């Protein structure tokens, strides 16, 4: 018999709330086309200055050759964690027809002046939180539809125009 009471327990003090996902202006990195999503509680949205810092960081990384998404379509998630000053910046691109690739960066405004590559040691590690998965789920659905098209310029434009806004 499985004793579920002893595994995967959520802290009794944890109260889950919806966050808001909002699309922002797309980002072009060396020709690669990326949708942009901000995720935060409605009362503490992502500040414009943090969004601009994240965009500038990715542009510098691409210009320096540390990330190459020049032939990719994808999306960026900028997640304000809690009401705090810690942010994840997650660059996602579609590759090999049906694979989602990611690069994860983080910024703590209390201790860092810019975003940095987020260290992820060990063989088993976190990927997306429940809120970030809202963006991933929407993009998976849109990419699935795209894969069933002629995958021509019109289909790519339709994919690029389809973003999600709302509670997650």
Whole-number mean pLDDT of the chain?
A: 96
How far is residue 134's CA from residue 29's CA, in Å, rounded to a whole number?
A: 24
pLDDT of residue 8: 85
In a domain, 150, yes or no: yes
Q: What is the DSSP letter of 5?
A: G
Lookup result for tokens 């999306």: 75
Q: Is the pLDDT score of 22 beyond 90?
A: yes
Asked whether residue 37 is assigned to any structural domain, the reply reads yes
| Count of C-beta atoms within a 10 Å radius of residue 131 | 22
Q: How many CB atoms lie within 10 A of CB 113?
A: 8
Other CB atoms within a 10 A radius of the CB of residue 83 amount to 9
Q: Quick one: pLDDT at residue 131?
A: 98
The answer to the question of residue 32 being in a domain is yes
Examine residue 11 and state whether it is found in any structural domain, yes or no: no
d(CA 27, CA 75): 9
Question: Does residue 62 lie within any of the structural domains?
Answer: yes
Average pLDDT rounded to a whole number, residues 72-83: 96
Question: Is the pTM for the entire model greater than 0.75?
Answer: yes
Q: Let me know if residue 77 belongs to a domain.
A: yes
Residue range of the domain that includes 78: 17-167
Q: What's the whole-number mean pLDDT along residues 8-12?
A: 89
Q: Which residue has the tokens 């579609």?
A: 94
Residue 10 is assigned to a structural domain of this protein:
no
- Is the confidence at residue 54, as pLDDT, over 90? yes
pLDDT at 107: 98
Residue 5 lies inside a defined structural domain of this protein: no
Residue 24, judged by CB atoms within 10 A of its CB (0-12, 13-18, 19+), counts as middle
Q: What is the pLDDT of residue 47?
A: 98
Number of domain units in the chain? 1
CB distance 71 to 32 below 8 Å: yes
Task: Convert the pLDDT of each residue in 81-137 to its tens digit.
Answer: 987 899 999 999 999 999 999 999 999 999 999 999 999 888 998 899 999 999 999
Average of per-residue pLDDT across 61-82: 97
């Amino acid at each position: 018999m499985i004793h579920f009471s002893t595994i995967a327990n959520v802290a009794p003090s944890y109260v889950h709330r919806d966050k808001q996902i909002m699309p922002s202006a797309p980002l072009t990195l060396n020709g690669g086309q990326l949708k942009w999503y901000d995720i935060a509680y409605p009362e503490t949205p992502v500040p414009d200055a943090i969004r601009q810092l994240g965009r500038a960081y990715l542009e510098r990384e691409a210009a320096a050759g540390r990330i190459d998404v020049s032939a990719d379509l994808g999306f960026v998630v900028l997640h304000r964690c809690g009401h705090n000053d810690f942010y994840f910046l997650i660059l996602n691109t579609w590759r090999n027809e049906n694979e989602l690739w990611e690069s994860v960066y983080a910024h703590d405004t209390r201790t860092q002046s810019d975003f940095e590559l987020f260290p992820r040691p060990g063989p088993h590690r976190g990927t997306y939180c429940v809120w970030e998965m809202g963006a991933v789920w929407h993009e998976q659905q849109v990419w699935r539809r795209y894969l069933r098209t002629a995958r021509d310029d019109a289909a790519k434009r339709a994919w690029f125009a389809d973003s999600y806004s709302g509670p997650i």
